[in-house]
Amino acid sequence: MTGYNIFESALLKLGYHDSKGTVEQAVPFKKIALDAINEFSFDLCHSSPIKTLFDNIDLDKQAVSVISYGVAMVISLYNHDTEKNMIMTAIFNARRAAYLSENKRIKDVLPEVYGV
């Protein structure tokens, strides 16, 4: 997995692609994405920073998913895309909390009613 794969995933989550499904050339976002990837990967996994987006980064799939939402959050903030930023922030915060908790999975359950 490279930093560019995470960057591309973030752009696709934001819908920043053309009609053929290819990611638009988003040169201004590349430096921001590199900084965000390094920051979030250190926060989640204490991994060492990458120098370019094309460097390999050794993270598990869950961490990559969390980081891609974080990168999307930062890019949408930089792009003044308020609606998408609110959505990406909510998703990132929920996934980050789940990743950092002891339980790596969130289970939907109904609460038990005691005394009935």
Query: What is the spatial distance between Cα 72 and Cα 7, in angstroms, rounded to a whole number?
Result: 8
Spatial contact of 71 and 95, defined as CB atoms under 8 Å apart = no
Encode pLDDT of 9-34 as tens digits: 999 899 887 656 566 666 678 899 99
What is the pTM (predicted TM-score) of this model? 0.82
| Strand partners for 2 | 56
Give me the DSSP letters along 38-97: HHHHHHHH-PPPPSSTTSB----HHHHHHHHHHHHHHHHHHTT-HHHHHHHHHHHHHHHH
The stretches in the chain having pLDDT less than 70 are 18-27, 102-116
Query: What is the spatial distance between Cα 4 and Cα 22, in angstroms, rounded to a whole number?
Result: 14
